Structure 1
Amino acid sequence: MVTDLHVVFIPSPAPGHMIPLVQAARVFAARGFRCTIITTVHNALTFQTSIDRDINIGYPITVRTINFPASEVGLPVGIESFGACTTEEMETALSRGVQLLQAPMEQLVRDVAPDCIFSDMFATWTVDLAEELKIPRLLFYVNNFIYHSMSHSLKVHAPYANVKSESESFIVPGLPDNITMKRSQVSHMFLTKTRTGDMMKDVRESEKRSYGLVHNTFYEIEPAYADYFKKITGMKIWHIGPLFQFVNDGGALEKNSSLTWLDDQKPKSVIYVCFGSMVRFPEAQITEIALALEESKKPFVWVVRKKGNEGVGGLPEGFVERMVTENKGLIITGWASQVEILQHPSVGGFMTHCGWNSVLEAVTAGVPLMTWPLYADQFYNEKLVELLGIGVGVGTDVWNPTSDIISPIIGKHDILKAIKLLTGRSTIAENIMQNSKELAVKAKKAVEEGGSSLNGLNALINELKHVKLNTKP
């Protein structure tokens, strides 16, 4: 049943942000809200098929597009997402383009006259626009509660200032658990003035002026931190994840005939390796990963980014040919349907950068993790994986300021050690597998009738329905 409430959704142009926010829009549309997603032309193309499917079954959802100012910022036509950038210079140019989009996006929001703005965390300008239009602004966080809780503690207490070296550990104070970190793992924005730090300051300021906060997480994965964060903010907060469980895009795996390779593998035997859509490893690191995978003698699916038009640099001579001819592994250089891959019964482990979307997808599939955090919130996510007992680390402990990875190379022996530990028959491996299975059950129940996330979603919907949205001038 279509309501008379219209929500406009404003994503940020990075896959890890755009995908869950679009999923949120589709979830709202499935429950009768009129939903409009505003983005650029080429970003819209990445999810338009899903939106068309929703429209065909009667969901009230539309996409409004704006042309990206590619020529003004010196980018090739079609480069509108940080996931499409192959250099740091391109990312800087894209950021300039995003700033130029603000004015036309503001006007488009005024034109569509919504009753609510559902905004990605980095679209901080939407809080001013919401106040102008006298409508609620919901701030959407793609992060979990432990990240926000740890960030709050680091900012308030600055425990890293009391250690004498980058490798010395300290306790993050005031948290529900005894969590230790090294100064080398702490985001640079806590240690010095950075552009990211300025952006996060703006995010926090917009948070205080928002109607409420929406998180793509579920209560059972971090109950103590959900309660802790709600207490320290005192704001209206809803957790409605994992959002991908609310939308059904079934069949994606079957559409890619190359992934039928998984059907021929033994249950829980395949290692899935993916470091997200933005990571740019040096060739020396690609070499070490390839050597470790080959020496492990475990079947694998490896999603690895091309270096521009040059292909994948750093692969050992003959590596691809050996993997193909001997049927040892599948190397994917384009898009991969990660949710379907992780849910395939042959996948038994996931080597990941600990992006929160990736962790949620693995948790829901019950797949244990080999953690390799690199930047952003990933070291904080790894701490949650450790607390939950659902993975092992490869041993990285240096935070990177950008997606160009400059931290020390992790050698094949350390990578191989993690693979063997996770895939072996030790008590540690068995406990990790059992914990992963139990958490997967909780993740699935969270979105079912009576589940914490479905309850959170219903509470948010009821909140919006009861808000006096007819106060616009």
Structure 2
Amino acid sequence: MDGKGKLHVMFFPFPGQGHLIPMSDMARAFSGRGVRATIVTSPLNVPTIRGTIGKGVESEIEILTVKFPCAEAGLPEGCENTESIPSPDLILTFFKAIRMLQAPLEELLLQHRPHCLIASALFPWASKLNINIPRLVFHGTGVFALCASECIRLYQPHKNVSSDTDPFLIPHLPGDVQMTKMLLPDYIKTETDGGTETDFKRALQEIKEAELASYGVVLNSFYELEQVYADYYEKQLLQGQGRRTWYIGPLSLCNVNDHKGKRGKQASVDEGDILKWLDSNKPNSVVYVCFGSIANFSESQLREIARGLEDSGQQFIWVVRRSEKDKGTWLPEGFERRTTTEGRGIIIWGWAPQVLILDHQAVGVFVTHCGWNSTLEAVSAGVPMVTWPVSAEQFYNEKFVTDLLQIGIPVGVQKWARIVGDDTITSNALQKALHRVVLGEEAESMRNRAHELAQMARTAVQYNGSSSCHLTHLIQHLRSIACLQN
């Protein structure tokens, strides 16, 4: 223990919103249990962390910065997170810069001597640092996606199909989950077609090895949500490997009510105006549309979304990650006059207070890219989804939401894409999916299931709930190790 008798845990989030925000929430949760929490990041990511932590506990959580090696890696200055990568061609260069953070992190660890390091899985080298403390891995997704991707890696069922669109069952995975090769990440398809081992595939192998070398895994989920897959992960995929897994989510629920609108980046709209507009609408009548911080749709695809929202007849809040100045090139003529001007909808140009919006009773459906944070926030709020996955593990999350939890309807995306360029979804497809979730024959049962899951999520983080107990046990483990080291 440190001089004050406190357990000291250092958090090292990957510089992307999907890791920065939940790991800041995690630091807040640890700090609330009397743990000294320190977050390490680069300077340009500090505002996101401060915004997520909140002013009420900001002084209790230390933030240390390391210089991000943009110039050394060949990146433009200021490219310190995934949102700021100017071109997909620089993704591998960005990961080259990430590797260069190993030496400064190790220096900080030796200087501050924490009792434990919790690092994002995308820093596989963090498990090899020359310091004798437990290293825990944080995955930015749920355990179902981990199980599905591992079964694909181990058994390679996609090699036995005759075409990219033929469905196949994921072997040994509970639930009879079907995929097609088109829905798998491109590096898997490249390997299948006889290509050489890619940098991405090598990186995934390093992540797997680092997980095996770690003290355990921390997940932003709760046991009841993924019980079958939590058990499968530990009993089958981790059999004999001695790793421990702790489910301590939903981490977004650790934030107090008056902080919902301030998580992450500064919202580009006034929180009060959004709430006033939501208050003016009936329960379950508003469609919320947001595709995360990275997905970038073509202008023609955005035009289809606009037409689908208008034709649906539903009130909506649409988050667009583009400059408002460019709207004249793609927004249908008269769209704003017919919708936003008349109070039918709101377009948010930039960052939105997502948890605040989802938690409002007026919101009845979430059109989402199925990133894990967004998925879990919708589950926590009891909001059914229209699923529109793009890349990463999002197609696994879609299967989990639609086929297993049965609280969502797929919009019909058929292809994993690192860059969203083609117009794959028509306005009519979006309109039909929205109708099924809002007014269709399965709408009421989906809402009921979503509300039940939301209650389970809130129970999990309360005293004696499963996530609360997992966090207690994890802290107790770390304290016992720290005492032995002293």
Q: For residues 164 and 38 of structure 1, do their structure 2 counterparts lie closer, same or farther at Cα, with a shift above 3 Å needed?
A: same
2:442 to 414, 424, 428: 428
AA aligned to 1:415 is L
Q: Check conservation: 1:116, 1:136, Cα contact below 8 A.
A: yes
Given that 1:307 and 1:313 are in contact with CA atoms closer than 8 Å, whether structure 2 keeps it comes out as no
Q: Distance in 2 between matches of 1:439 and 1:337?
A: 22
Q: Which residue of 2 aligns with 1:110?
A: 110
Whether contact under 8 Å (1:86, 1:307) holds in the other structure is no
1:435/1:49 CA distance change after superposition, 3 Å:
closer
Show the 5 A alignment for 1:150-299. Answer: 150-191=148-189, 192=191, 193-231=197-235, 232-234=237-239, 235-248=243-256, 250-253=258-261, 256-259=271-274, 260-299=276-315
Q: Does 1:409 align with 2:424?
A: yes
> Using the alignment, how far apart are the partners of 2:153 and 2:69 within structure 1?
36
Contact 1:267 1:347 in 2 (8 A): yes
2:14 maps to 1:12: yes
Q: How does 1:313-324 map to 2 (within 5 A)?
A: 314-324=330-340
**Cα distance between partner residues in 1 of 2:365 and 2:124:** 37
Shift of 1:471: 3.7
Task: Provide the C-alpha distance between the structure 2 equivalents of 1:37 and 1:282, rounded to a whole number of angstroms.
Answer: 36
Q: CA deviation at 1:69?
A: 3.4
Give the secondary-structure state (helix, strand or coil) at the position aligned to 1:119. strand
**Counterpart-to-counterpart distance in 2, 1:141 and 1:321:** 43
Change (3 A) 1:415 1:220: same
Distance 2:63 2:17 in 1: 17
SS in 2 for 1:290: helix
Q: How far has the Cα of 1:163 moved from its partner?
A: 0.9
Q: Which amino acid aligns with 1:216?
A: N
Q: How far has the Cα of 1:93 moved from its partner? A: 4.5
Name the amino acid aligned to 1:396.
V
Calculate the TM-score normalised by the size of structure 2.
0.90
- 1:11-410 matches, within 5 Å, as 11-51=13-53, 53-55=55-57, 59=60, 61-73=61-73, 75=75, 77-89=77-89, 91-129=91-129, 132-191=130-189, 192=191, 193-231=197-235, 232-234=237-239, 235-248=243-256, 250-253=258-261, 256-259=271-274, 260-306=276-322, 310=326, 314-385=330-401, 386-400=403-417, 402=418, 404-406=419-421, 409-410=424-425
Q: Provide the C-alpha distance between the structure 2 equivalents of 1:327 and 1:31, rounded to a whole number of angstroms.
A: 44
State the 1:77 CA deviation.
4.5
Summarize the Cα distance change of 1:313–1:14 in structure 2 as closer, same or farther, 3 Å threshold.
farther
Output the CA distance in 2 between the equivalents of 1:10 and 1:469: 23
8 A Cα contact 2:261 2:354, kept in partner:
no
Pair 1:310–1:407, CA change in 2 (3 A): closer
CA–CA separation in structure 1 for the residues paired with 2:118 and 2:483: 14
CA offsets 1:159-193 (integer angstroms, 9 cap, x no match): 11111111111111112211111111122333323
Q: What is the alpha-carbon distance in structure 2 between the residues aligned to residue 53 and residue 126 of structure 1? A: 30
Q: Is the contact between residue 218 and residue 240 of structure 1 (CA under 8 Å) also seen in structure 2?
A: yes
Q: Partner of 1:397: helix, strand, or coil?
A: coil
SS of the equivalent of 1:238 reads strand
- The more displaced of 312-321 and 111-120 is 312-321
SS in 1 for 2:107: helix
The 3 A distance-change label for structure 1 pair 333 and 122 is same
- Please tell me the root mean square deviation across aligned C-alpha atoms, in Å: 2.2
Structure 2 residue matching 1:46: 3-state secondary structure: helix
**Residue 445, structure 1, aligned to residue 466, structure 2:** no
What is the deviation of 1:50?
4.7
Go from structure 1 to structure 2 and tell me whether the alpha carbon gap of 1:149 and 1:436 turns closer, same or farther (over 3 Å shift): same
For 2:340, what is the secondary structure of its paired residue?
A: helix
Give 1:211 deviation, angstroms.
0.4
Aligned equivalents of 2:96, 2:334: Cα separation in 1? 41
User: What CA distance in whole angstroms lies between the structure 1 residues aligned with 2:68 and 2:483?
Assistant: 31
In structure 2, relative to structure 1, the CA distance for the partners of 1:75 and 1:468 (3 Å cut) is: closer
Equivalent pairs counted in the alignment come to: 465
Deviations 1:281-318 (A, max 9, x none): 11111111011001111110000111697468522223
- Given that 2:8 and 2:116 are in contact with CA atoms closer than 8 Å, whether structure 1 keeps it comes out as yes
Q: CA deviation at 1:194?
A: 3.1
Conservation of the 8 A alpha-carbon contact between 1:134 and 1:471: no
> Structure 1 249/8 Cα, relative in aligned 2: closer, same or farther at 3 Å?
farther
* Residue-by-residue CA offset, 1:397-455 (whole Å, 9 max, x unaligned): 2111x2x214552111111110111111x331111111111111111111112211111
Question: Secondary structure of 1:108's match?
Answer: helix
**TM-fit CA distance, 1:73:** 4.8
Cα distance in structure 2, aligned partners of 1:342 and 1:180: 29
SS, match of residue 324 in structure 1: coil
SS at match of 1:221: coil
Distance 2:233 2:158 in 1: 21
Residue 455 (structure 1) aligns with: 469
Q: Aligned equivalents of 1:84 and 1:333: distance in 2?
A: 17
Question: What residue identity is the alignment partner of 2:480?
Answer: H
Q: Deviation of residue 19 (structure 1)?
A: 0.7
Alpha-carbon spacing, 1:91–1:318, altered in 2? closer, same or farther (3 Å): farther
What is the TM-score normalised by the length of structure 1?
A: 0.93
- Which letter maps to 1:172? I
User: Which residue identity lines up with residue 174 of structure 1 in the other structure?
Assistant: H
Cα distance between partner residues in 2 of 1:240 and 1:25: 12
Report the CA distance shift for 1:174/1:38 in structure 2 as closer, same or farther (over 3 A). same
Displacement of 1:469 after TM fit? 5.5
Percent sequence identity is 39
Q: Secondary structure at the match of 2:321?
A: coil
- Asked if the contact 1:306–1:312 (Cα under 8 Å) also holds between the matched residues in 2, the reply is no
CA distance in structure 2 between the aligned counterparts of 1:28 and 1:87, rounded to whole angstroms: 36
